A = this chain, B = another copy of it.
Amino acid sequence: MMKPNLCRMALLIVLLSISLPGVAEDGYQLWLRYARVGNPDQANRIENLLEGVILPEAQAGSYAILREELSRASRGMLGREPVFGPGANGVATLVIGTPADLDLLDKESVRSALPGLGNEGYVLERPDPNGPLLIVANTPIGALYGTFHLLRNLQAGLNPADFLPLSESPRITRRILNHWDNLDRTVERGYAGFSIWDWHRLPGYLDTRYADYARANASVGINGTVLTNVNANALVLTPPYIEKAKALADLFRPYGIRVYLTARFNAPMELGDLETADPLDERVRTWWKNKADEIYEAIPDFGGFLVKANSEGQPGPQNFGRTHADGANLLADAVAPHGGIVMWRAFVYSADVPVDRAKQAYDEFVPLDGSFRDNVFIQVKNGPIDFQPREPFHPLFGAMEKTPLALEVQITQEYLGQATNLVSLASLFEDCLDAPTHRPFPPSTVASVIDGSDYGRGESVMAGVSNVGTDRNWTGHPFGQLNWFAFGRLAWDPHRTSGEIHDEWTRLTFGTDAGMVAAITELLAGSWETAIRYSTPLGLHHLMGRSHHYGPGPWVEGGRPDWTAVYYHRADTAGIGFDRTRTGSRALDQYAPEVAEAWSDPRSCPERYLLWFHRVEWTHPMGSGRTLWDELCLTYDRGVKEVGDMRRTWAGLEGRIDPERFGQVSQLLAIQEKEAQWWKNSCLLYFQTFSRMDFPPDMVRPEGDLEEYKSLQFPYAPGIQPSW
C-alpha cells in the first residue's frame, strides 16, 4: 500500500480542521452520519483503504448503490471522494464484488470462502497483508451488506487489523419491518409523525426519503417491509395501489428489500367482486389466485401477505365457520406458485371474552399444528398479551413442532413511553430471544425456535412493528433510532448482545469519544428496567390509558373486560395480581413443564413475573424482606429516581454532543421524568385505595390527586387508529 504523499497529508490536515459548514445534526442521517474523522491515524487508515477501490461497473442496481455509499462515507469521513479504479501506481486497496461479476475475484482462494454464505452473506478479508481488502459475496446484495459492515466498523473507530478476517451470514432469512401505516397516512401507534408513504403522489413522485429508508434498512440487514397496517384496507389490493406498491418495490429491490402487503380477509367482498370470502369457496380461491397473479405480474419478487384475521374487529375465516388454517392456506396457495409466503398473526380474539386473554393464541393455534401449508408462518408476539413493558415469552414458542413461527416485536413504543421516553428495546428483544423455552428440547430458546435451527428449517421470519414516521429524525425520539437499529442487528443475528448493540449504535450516532460512549451505554443498559419500574413493575401489565395508551390508567374499566386494566391487575383489598397457576387460569400449563415449574410458586417465581402469574396479598413477603406493598411503592419510586439519574448523566454530556440533539434529549428526559412521576403517583394512589396501607417512609410520597389523574383526557394523543 502506498503512503499518502505530503501534499495529500497537508490537505487532509486542512480538511480535518474544518467543521461541517452549517449542517445541523437533525437526525435524518441516522447511524449513517459518516462524521468527519478527527483521529489522524484513523483518517489515514480510511484514506489508504479508499485510494483504489475496485468494484463491478454498474449504472444502477446494488453495485451503484454500494459505490454511492462509499462516496458518501468518504466525503463525510474524509471530505473527499474515494478513488475508484486502481489508485496511484495501479494499486487496488479495496476490492468488492462476487467472483461472477469481477474477474479479479474469480480464483480458487476466494471462491472457497463462499459456500455456506448463502445469498446474503459475505467475507471481509485481506489474504495478502500488503494487498487489498476484499469484500466477497455470492450476490451483489451480499457485497452491499459486506460494505455496510466495513463502513459501520470504520465509523465506529475500529481498525480493520482488529476485525479481519470475518465472515457473516444472517441467522434469520426474512427480517421484516411491519408498518402499521394507513392509506390516509396516519400511523396506528405511530409516534414519529405520519406515514412516510405518500400514496397520493405515488407512483409518479418518489420521495427521496424512500431511498434513504432503504439505505438505512439495508445497512442493518432488514430485507422486507410490509407497507400497510395489519388493520387492513382492501383498497391496497386494487390496480392503482398495486402500481404504487410496485414503484416502491422497484426502488427497494437493489437494496435487497422485498415488499409485502397486508391482506384484508374480506377483500373479495369489499372490492365488490363476490358476496362471500369463505376460504373454501372456489370463487374465493380463484379471486385470491388471480389477485396474487396480478400482484406478481407487477412485483415479481413480492414477498407475500401479512394477515390479522378475527382479531379486534378484523374479518377472518371464522366469520365463515372456517379455521385459521383454512384462511391461511387460502392465501398461501395463491402466492405459493410465485414463491410467496403468508404471515398469519397469532394475535387473535374470540368473540367471547376468554377466562384469560393470555391463553387464547395457544388455545387456538396449537390444535392446528400440522394443518398449515409449508409457506405459512404463524407470527407470534414476543409475549402472550400485547407488547407490554415486560412479558414472559409467548408459550407458543416451541409448542408447534410442525409449523414455523415468526417472532413479532414492537419497535414503536406503544406501551414504553411512545416518543417521549428513552428506552432501549435491545434489552427487551434480547430478553425474549434468549429466553429458554425448553421446547422442542433443551437448550432451546426463542431464538433457536424462530431461526429454524431447532427444526432444521431453511426459512425464518422476524418482524418488527416500525417506529418510522415523517419526523425529520425518523423516529421522533432521537433514541428511537436505536430500536430500529437494534431490531435489524438482532434479526440478522439473534445472539448479539444488547451491550454490543448499545456500544455500536452510540459510536455511529454520537461519535467515538470514549467517556461519552461509556456514559450513554450505561444510560441505555438500565433504561428498559427503569421504564418498567415506573410503569408496570413486578409483573403488572396493561395499566395504560384507554385507547391512546398514553400514560397510566390502572383504573380503566367498563367495556370489553380484556381491554381494561382491572381485568389484568385484579386489585382489591385482599391482594393484587392475576392467578395463572392451576388454582387460577392455568395459563402456566401452556409452557414446558420445566418453565411452568419454575414460575408456579409465588415464593420462587422471579419477582419480575410475580403479579403476572400470581395473585398475592398486599403483605406478601418479597425477597428483600419487605411486603409486596412496600416493594411496589419503592420500585415505582426507584424508577422515577433513576430517570433523574438519567437526566444528570445526560446533562454531564453537554458540549460532548452536538447542541441540537443534546437539547432535544434534554427536553425529552425532562418530559420522561414528569411522566414517570405521573405513572408512580397515579398507580400508587390508585392501588392504595385497595391496599389501605401507608407509603413506606424511605420514599418520595406520591403527589397530586387521584381523581384529577383519572380525569385527564388526551383526545389528540398520537397513534390512535381512526376507526377505533
- Given the interface pairs A194-B194, A472-B472, the reply to whether A72 lies near B22 with Cβ below 8 Å is yes
A247-263 vs B: 1/0 string, CB under 8 Å? 00000000000000000
Q: Are A21 and B75 in contact, CB atoms less than 8 angstroms apart? A: yes
| Among A196-204, A303-311, A701-709, the stretch in contact with B | A196-204
A404 interface contact, C-beta 8 A = no
A20-56 vs B: 1/0 string, CB under 8 Å? 1111101010000010100000000000000000000
Q: Are B204 and A235 in contact, CB atoms less than 8 angstroms apart? A: no
Q: Which of B21, B75, B674 contacts A204 (CB 8 A)?
A: B674
A205 interface contact, C-beta 8 A = yes
A206 interface contact, C-beta 8 A = yes
A145-165 vs B: 1/0 string, CB under 8 Å? 000000000000000000000
- Given the interface pairs A716-B199, A718-B200, the reply to whether A205 lies near B667 with Cβ below 8 Å is yes
* Distance in Å: Cβ of A237 to nearest Cβ of chain B: 14
A79 interface contact, C-beta 8 A = yes
Chain B contacts for A185, CB-based, 8 A: 193-194, 716, 718
Chain B contacts for A717, CB-based, 8 A: 200
Q: Are A75 and B208 in contact, CB atoms less than 8 angstroms apart? A: no
Q: Give A674's nearest chain B residue, CB to CB.
A: B204
Q: Which of B20, B193, B471 contacts A21 (CB 8 A)?
A: B20
Q: Are A22 and B235 in contact, CB atoms less than 8 angstroms apart? A: no
Residues of chain A from 665 to 717 with CB closer than 8 A to chain B in the complex: 667-668, 670-671, 674, 714-717
A601 interface contact, C-beta 8 A = no
Q: Are A204 and B667 in contact, CB atoms less than 8 angstroms apart? A: yes
Q: Which of B24, B470, B674 contacts A470 (CB 8 A)?
A: B470
Q: Are A36 and B21 in contact, CB atoms less than 8 angstroms apart? A: yes
Q: Are B208 and A664 in contact, CB atoms less than 8 angstroms apart? A: yes
Q: Which of B28, B34, B184, B419 contacts A201 (CB 8 A)?
A: B419
* Distance in Å: Cβ of A449 to nearest Cβ of chain B: 38
Residues of chain A from 181 to 230 with CB closer than 8 A to chain B in the complex: 183-185, 193-194, 199-201, 204-206, 208-209
Q: Are A235 and B14 in contact, CB atoms less than 8 angstroms apart? A: no
A11 interface contact, C-beta 8 A = yes
A15 interface contact, C-beta 8 A = yes
Interface centre among A208, A209, A663 (most CB of B within 10 A): A208
Q: How far is the CA of A75 from the CA of B24 in the complex (A)?
A: 12
Chain B contacts for A663, CB-based, 8 A: 208
Q: Are B14 and A201 in contact, CB atoms less than 8 angstroms apart? A: no
Chain B contacts for A654, CB-based, 8 A: none
Q: Give A714's nearest chain B residue, CB to CB.
A: B200
Q: How far is the CA of A655 from the CA of B28 in the complex (A)?
A: 25
* Distance in Å: Cβ of A419 to nearest Cβ of chain B: 7
* Distance in Å: Cβ of A670 to nearest Cβ of chain B: 6
Q: How far is the CA of A663 from the CA of B667 in the complex (A)?
A: 37
Q: How far is the CA of A667 from the CA of B211 in the complex (A)?
A: 15
Q: Give A664's nearest chain B residue, CB to CB.
A: B208
Q: How far is the CA of A11 from the CA of B193 in the complex (A)?
A: 43
* Distance in Å: Cβ of A313 to nearest Cβ of chain B: 20
Q: How far is the CA of A674 from the CA of B471 in the complex (A)?
A: 30
Q: How far is the CA of A18 from the CA of B76 in the complex (A)?
A: 12
Chain B contacts for A674, CB-based, 8 A: 204
A506 interface contact, C-beta 8 A = no
Q: Are A420 and B14 in contact, CB atoms less than 8 angstroms apart? A: no
Q: How far is the CA of A714 from the CA of B199 in the complex (A)?
A: 11
Chain B contacts for A36, CB-based, 8 A: 21
Q: Give A205's nearest chain B residue, CB to CB.
A: B667
Chain B contacts for A557, CB-based, 8 A: none
Chain B contacts for A76, CB-based, 8 A: 21-22
Known: A18-B79, A20-B23, A21-B79. 9 other contacts (CB 8 A): A15-B18, A22-B72, A22-B76, A24-B208, A193-B193, A205-B420, A208-B664, A470-B470, A472-B472
The 8 closest A-B pairs by CB, nearest first: A204-B671, A21-B75, A22-B76, A22-B75, A183-B716, A470-B470, A184-B716, A194-B194
Residues of A within 8 A of B (CB): 11, 14-15, 18-24, 26, 28, 34, 36, 72, 75-76, 79, 183-185, 193-194, 199-201, 204-206, 208-209, 235, 419-420, 470-472, 660, 663-664, 667-668, 670-671, 674, 714-718
8 interchain pairs, CB-CB under 8 A: A11-B14, A20-B23, A185-B193, A193-B193, A201-B419, A205-B420, A208-B664, A470-B470
